[in-house]
């Protein structure tokens, strides 16, 4: 365009540049909101982790002191180990969800309603799931102990035992998470190519070998999403711990997300900087997975279009 | 179909399967069924140790009546509605626009911006906690519903943008090109061509975001404090503190708190599942 010497007349200029202007205007509100409430806070938290701050006075720069303190913090160590347990055991939701999906992938009367009811635990809030399981584990009247003693196995105080408590809470978390994975696999199974299944049957494939070599490869996208949401769910675990044990007994069920909250907003004085340092560690763990997810998405983008 | 359809199996297996499914369901929902039974029991059953037996009398009306008329529960429920509904509208509106921009236009940094939304959506809440709490305090919005709504809208925009952009990408691009050839303005293309086609995505996202926000607990605890602004997930803990060991009332309260998303799920099941499983099938 040669007419740059002339000051652009508004309508003409808008008209000519609308392919550039339109996306800008459409993006502006969403991007601004997101920058303000999500992206900048991440950067601020990184910065804050180098300060000592009680949330009221002036923050004081202390370099890496918060991180040095973390190295000797036994509670931090416990939280880190518990996060690892969460990450590994939470993944059980994927095979469990697949198993239930395979069980329910039939056509009998009322199967649709059954499927929805199996999905139920995912819809209710984790706060309610936490309450329900607290009562389920209750040492005096809980259903778990009723069953155990009926079988002559004695009783357990799951939430009062430092060695069992984290596993008890993870089991509660697996309940809704399994339901989620189930619905992903049910949808995936619906789209499995029946011709391939028939062809494989003619070739003599059945049972486990059919599942492994024919069905699971076709369920790859469902498995990927199940993996993503389960990892995120495991690292976000906070509600259940807060409701069921409040980190106890003796802080043995804390995870990083809970410990950070406790440090930053505890009743014994706010330690915002230290809390931010814990959050940064959690963020860095998550970043490994985020990078992997983005990389897989990027690969798919290249393939499509 | 896999596994092999049960209707081709021997009649014995068919009957066994038909009996097995409801049994498995009862086992699966046992903790929930227990709470439902708790909620219609009289107080006396708990003091006399009749936890798991049949209720000695049906007290559902009294228990639920107490939840609705003798506690802060209606306040919390109303707060939840006033937080959830504006968030749904805000996040869906913003992401219709961002999704449109990222899905339709080619420009430098498109994929980068898209990945910013996706990555932000996966971030652990705790890394946002201190700065967002601070920002909300500075804006004078701490312990207000608006403060919570603004944050939720911003955060949910990440997930919603991912969803909308991928949905718009799958629409037939020729429609938009045809409209451009006709000289239709870009905003009119958005409003009259694309938006009508996005109805299923809008429905799916609305139910999903409704459920996510209704069930949010962490931000409710971080950004609000009292009955005047706390949603029901946070309120239920104060409710339980008030009725400590009154299991029949706590159960009734929990069921009331859990009901709206459940109702939403059953009313909009198709959209809900379509939303959750987007991308589970290529």
Spans of chain A below 70 pLDDT: 1-11, 267-268, 304-305
Q: What is the mean pLDDT of residues B23-38?
A: 91
B55, B42 in Cβ contact below 8 A? yes
Please write the tens of the pLDDT for every residue from B103-120. Answer: 999 888 899 999 999 999
Our CA-based measurement puts residue A162 at a distance from the nearest CA of chain B, in whole angstroms, of: 23
Reading the block at residue A244, the tokens are 């069921």
Helix (H, G, I), strand (E, B) or coil at B56: coil
Per-residue pLDDT, A1: 43
Q: Is A51 on the interface with B (CB under 8 A)?
A: no
Residue A3, pLDDT score: 47
Mutation pick from A16, A25, A35, A37 vs chain B, by most beta carbons of B within 10 Å, is A37
pLDDT of residue B213: 95
Residue at token pair 């230290």 = A274
Answer whether the bond into residue B188 is a cis peptide, omega within 30°. no
pLDDT tens digits, B173-195: 898 889 989 888 889 999 999 99
A148 and chain B in contact, CB less than 8 A = no
Helix (H, G, I), strand (E, B) or coil at A61: strand
Interface predicted TM-score (ipTM) of this complex, two decimals = 0.91
Q: What is the pLDDT of residues B200-221, one digit of tens each?
A: 999 999 999 999 999 999 999 9
Which pLDDT does position B71 carry in this prediction?
Answer: 85
Q: For residues B180 and B237, give the distance between their C-alpha atoms in angstroms, rounded to a whole number.
A: 55
Q: Supply the pLDDT for residue A305.
A: 53
* Helix, strand, coil percent content, chain B, rounded in steps of 5: 75, 0, 25
DSSP A7: P
What's the rounded Cα separation, in Å, for the pair B242 and B231? 16
Residue contacts between A and B (CB atoms, under 8 Å) = 281
pLDDT of residue A2: 47
- Determine, for residues B277 and A26 on separate chains, whether the beta-carbon distance falls below 8 Å: no
This prediction's pTM: 0.91
Q: Are B143 and B83 in contact (CB under 8 A)?
A: no
Quick one: CA dihedral B113, B117, B118, B119, positive or negative?
positive
Predicted local distance difference test score (pLDDT) of residue A216? 92
Mutate to test the interface with A, among B18, B26, B127, B156 (most CBs of A within 10 A): B127
Residue B217 to residue A215, Cβ atoms within 8 A: no
Q: Distance between CA atoms of A243 and A263, rounded to whole angstroms? A: 17
Candidate from B38, B115, B233 with C-beta closest to A125: B233
Supply the pLDDT for residue B144. 94
Vertex B155, ends A132 and B265: CA angle to 5°? 45
Place B199 in a pLDDT band, splitting at 50, 70 and 90: very high
| Helical (H) or strand (E) element with A60 | strand A60-61
- CA A151/CA A172 separation, integer angstroms: 22
**How far apart are the C-alpha atoms of A66 and A26, rounded to whole Å?**
42
Residue A12 phi, psi dihedral angles, 5° rounding: -65, -40
pLDDT (0 to 100) of residue A68 = 93
Provide the shortest C-alpha distance from residue B144 to chain A (in Å): 16
Name residue, tokens 């809440």.
Answer: B125
* Average pLDDT of the segment spanning B40-69: 84
Confidence class of residue B282 from pLDDT cuts 50, 70 and 90? Answer: low
**CA distance linking residue A261 with residue A259, whole number of Å:** 5
Distance CA B234, CA A179 (A): 24
Nearest to B234 by CA among B34, B5, B75: B75
Distance CA B198, CA B71 (A): 42
Q: Which residue's entry shows tokens 């804006």?
A: B139
- Check: CB of residue B161 under 8 Å from CB of residue B101: no
What's chain B's average pLDDT? 90
Residue B138 has pLDDT above 60, yes or no: yes
pLDDT in tens, B222-258: 999 888 899 999 988 888 888 877 888 889 999 999 9
Q: A292 and chain B: CB distance < 8 Å anywhere? A: no
């Amino acid at each position: 365009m040669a007419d740059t010497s002339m000051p652009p007349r508004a309508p003409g200029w808008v008209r000519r540049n609308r392919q550039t202007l339109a996306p800008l205007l459409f993006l502006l509100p969403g991007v601004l909101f997101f920058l303000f409430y999500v992206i900048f806070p991440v950067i601020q938290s990184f910065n804050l982790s180098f300060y000592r701050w009680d949330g009221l006075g002036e923050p004081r720069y202390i370099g890496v002191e918060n991180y040095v303190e973390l190295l000797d913090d036994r509670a931090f160590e416990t939280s880190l180990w518990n996060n690892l347990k969460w990450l590994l055991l939470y993944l059980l939701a994927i095979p469990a969800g697949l198993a239930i999906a395979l069980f329910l992938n039939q056509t009998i009367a009322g199967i649709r309603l059954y499927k929805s009811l199996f999905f139920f635990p995912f819809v209710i809030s984790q706060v309610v799931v936490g309450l329900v399981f607290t009562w389920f584990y209750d040492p005096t009247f809980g259903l778990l102990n009723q069953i155990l003693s009926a079988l002559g196995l004695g009783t357990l105080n799951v939430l009062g035992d430092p060695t069992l408590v984290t596993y008890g809470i993870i089991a509660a978390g697996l309940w809704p998470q399994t339901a989620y994975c189930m619905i992903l696999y049910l949808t995936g199974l619906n789209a499995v190519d029946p011709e391939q299944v028939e062809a494989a049957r003619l070739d003599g494939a059945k049972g486990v070998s059919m599942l492994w070599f024919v069905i699971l490869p076709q369920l790859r996208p469902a498995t990927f999403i199940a993996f993503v949401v389960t990892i995120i769910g495991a690292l976000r675990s906070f509600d259940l711990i807060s409701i069921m044990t409040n980190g106890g007994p003796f802080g043995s069920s804390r995870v990083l997300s809970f410990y950070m909250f406790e440090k930053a907003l505890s009743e014994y004085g706010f330690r915002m900087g230290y809390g931010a340092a814990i959050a940064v560690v959690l963020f860095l763990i998550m970043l490994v997975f985020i990078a992997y997810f983005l990389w897989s998405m990027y690969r798919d983008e290249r393939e499509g279009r | 179909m896999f596994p092999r359809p049960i209707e081709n199996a021997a009649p014995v297996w068919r009957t066994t399967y038909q009996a097995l499914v409801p049994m498995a369901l009862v086992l699966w929902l046992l903790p929930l069924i227990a709470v439902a039974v708790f909620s219609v029991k009289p107080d006396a059953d708990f003091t006399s140790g009749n936890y798991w037996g049949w209720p000695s009398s049906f007290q559902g009306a009294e228990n639920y009546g107490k939840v609705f008329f003798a506690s802060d529960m209606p306040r919390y429920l109303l707060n939840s509605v006033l937080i959830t509904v504006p968030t749904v509208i805000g996040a869906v509106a913003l992401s219709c626009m961002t999704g449109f921009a990222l899905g339709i236009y080619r420009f430098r940094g498109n994929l980068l911006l898209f990945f910013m939304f996706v990555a932000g959506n996966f971030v652990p809440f705790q890394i946002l906690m201190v700065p967002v709490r601070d920002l909300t305090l500075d804006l004078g919005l701490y312990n207000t519903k608006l403060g919570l709504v603004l944050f939720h809208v911003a955060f949910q925009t990440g997930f919603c943008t991912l969803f909308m952009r991928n949905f718009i990408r799958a629409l037939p691009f020729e429609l938009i090109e045809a409209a451009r050839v006709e000289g239709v303005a870009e905003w009119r293309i958005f409003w009259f061509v694309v938006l009508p086609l996005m109805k299923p995505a809008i429905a799916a996202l609305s139910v999903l975001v409704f459920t996510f926000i209704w069930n949010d607990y962490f931000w409710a605890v971080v950004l609000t404090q009292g009955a005047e602004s706390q949603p029901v997930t946070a309120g239920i803990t104060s409710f339980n503190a008030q009725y400590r060991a009154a299991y029949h009332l706590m159960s009734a309260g929990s069921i009331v708190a859990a009901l709206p998303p459940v109702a939403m799920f059953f009313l909009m099941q198709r959209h809900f599942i379509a939303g959750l499983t987007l991308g589970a099938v290529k």
